[in-house]
Structure 1
Amino acid sequence: MFPITIENIFIDYSRGWCMVSDDPEDSIDDREQYDVTTWEERTRLDHLAVRASGFIGRWWVFLAAVIAILFAAHPLGAVGTELVQYPWLGGVMVLSLVGGLLIVWYIRRINPTTVSRKALVVTFLLGGAFAGIAILVEGSLQSIIDHIPLIGTALTLLLVVGPVEELVKWAAVRLYAFERSSFRTALDGALYGAAAGLGFAALESSEYIARAVAQGSASDPALSLAVGGAIGRVPAVPLHVFLTALAGYYLGLAKANPESYAPIVIKGLLIAAVLHGIYDTLVTYLPGVVGLVVAVVYVGGIGLLLYKKLSRYQQQAPSDGSPAPTTAGS
Structure 2
Amino acid sequence: MFLIALAVAPGIAVCLFIYSLNKYGKESMRHLVIAFILGMAATLPALLVQLMAEDVRTEPWRHSIVSYIWYAFAVVALSEEGSKFLVLRLYAYPKRDFREPFDGVVYGVMIGMGFATVENIEYVRQFGLETGVSRFFLAIPAHAAFAVLMGYLVGRAKFERGRSFGLLVKGLLVAVLFHGSFDFFLFVQQNREITHYLSTGMLSFGAFATFYIAVRLAMRALRMHQAMKEEAAEADAGSTGEESNQPINYKQSENDG
Instruction: Identify which of 78, 91, 94 aligns with 1:163.
Output: 78
Matches within 5 A, 1:8-87: 87=1
The DSSP-based 3-state class of the residue aligned with 2:250 is coil
d(CA) in 1 for partners of 2:56 and 2:222?
Answer: 39
In 2: Cα distance, 1:297 partner to 1:278 partner: 10
* Regions of 4+ moved over 3 Å: 100-103, 145-149, 286-298
Whether contact under 8 Å (1:142, 1:160) holds in the other structure is no
Q: Which residue of 1 aligns with 2:115?
A: 200
Q: Specify the alignment match of 2:141 in structure 1.
A: 238
Q: 1:140 aligns with which of 52, 55, 76?
A: 52
**CA 1:311 to 1:92, structure 2 compared with 1: closer, same or farther past 3 Å?**
closer
Corresponding residue of 2:20 = 109
3-state DSSP of counterpart to 2:93 = helix
The 10-residue stretch of structure 1 (315-324 or 257-266) with the greater mean CA deviation from structure 2: 315-324
Stretch deviating more after TM superposition (264-273 or 177-186) = 177-186
Give the counterpart letter for 2:121 in structure 1.
Answer: S
Do 2:14 and 2:113's aligned partners in 1 also have CA atoms closer than 8 Å? no
Q: Deviations over 1:123-147 (max 9, x none)?
A: 0000011101101012212432555
Residues in 2 aligned to 1:308 and 1:177: alpha-carbon distance in whole angstroms? 23
Unaligned runs of 5+ in 2: 190-198, 234-245
Q: Percent identity?
A: 26
Question: 1:178 maps to which residue?
Answer: 93
Contact 2:186 2:204 in 1 (8 A): yes
CA RMSD in angstroms comes to 2.4
CA distance in 1, matches of 2:58, 2:99: 42
Q: In the TM superposition, what is the alpha-carbon distance from 1:208 to its structure 2 partner?
A: 1.3
- The Cα of 1:182 is off from its aligned counterpart by 0.8
Name 1:222's counterpart in structure 2: none
- Separation of aligned partners in 1, 2:153 and 2:129: 35
Alignment of 1:227 with 2:129, yes or no, is: yes
Structure 1 distance, partners of 2:57, 2:148, is 29
Higher relative contact order (CA 8 A, sep 6+): 2
Q: Structure 1 residues 310, 201: closer, same or farther in 2, change over 3 A?
A: same
What SS is found at the alignment partner of 2:98? Answer: coil
Alignment pair present for 1:128 and 2:30: no
**How far off is 1:295 after superposition?**
3.9
The alpha carbon displacement at 1:284 in A equals 1.9
Counterpart position of 2:6: 92
> Residue 321 of structure 1 is aligned with which of 235, 244, 247?
247
Distance 2:253 2:167 in 1: 12
Match of 2:196 in 1: none
CA distance in 1, matches of 2:226, 2:96: 20
- Aligned residue for 1:272? 175
* Shift, 1:288, TM fit: 6.2
| Distance (whole Å) between structure 2 residues aligned to residue 133 and residue 258 of structure 1 | 30
Q: 1:241 to 1:302 in 2, by over 3 A?
A: same
Q: Which runs of 5+ in 1 are unaligned?
A: 1-86, 213-225
Compute the TM-score of the two structures, normalised by the length of structure 2. Answer: 0.79
The structure whose Rg is larger is: 1
Which whole-Å CA distance do the structure 1 matches of 2:210 and 2:160 have between them? Answer: 31
How far off its partner does 1:294 sit? 5.2
Higher-helix-fraction structure: 2
* Displacement of 1:323: 4.3
In 2, Cα distance between equivalents of 1:289 and 1:228:
19
1:244–1:232 CA distance, 2 compared to 1 (3 A): same
CA contact (8 A) 2:116 2:140 kept: yes
TM normalised by structure 1 equals 0.63
1:298–1:231 Cα change, 3 Å: farther
SS in structure 2 at match of 1:321: coil
Aligned amino acid, residue 50 of structure 2: E
Distance 1:267 1:323 in 2: 23
Displacement of 1:183: 0.6
| Aligned equivalents of 2:253, 2:227: Cα separation in 1 | 12
- Aligned equivalents of 1:173 and 1:146: distance in 2? 34
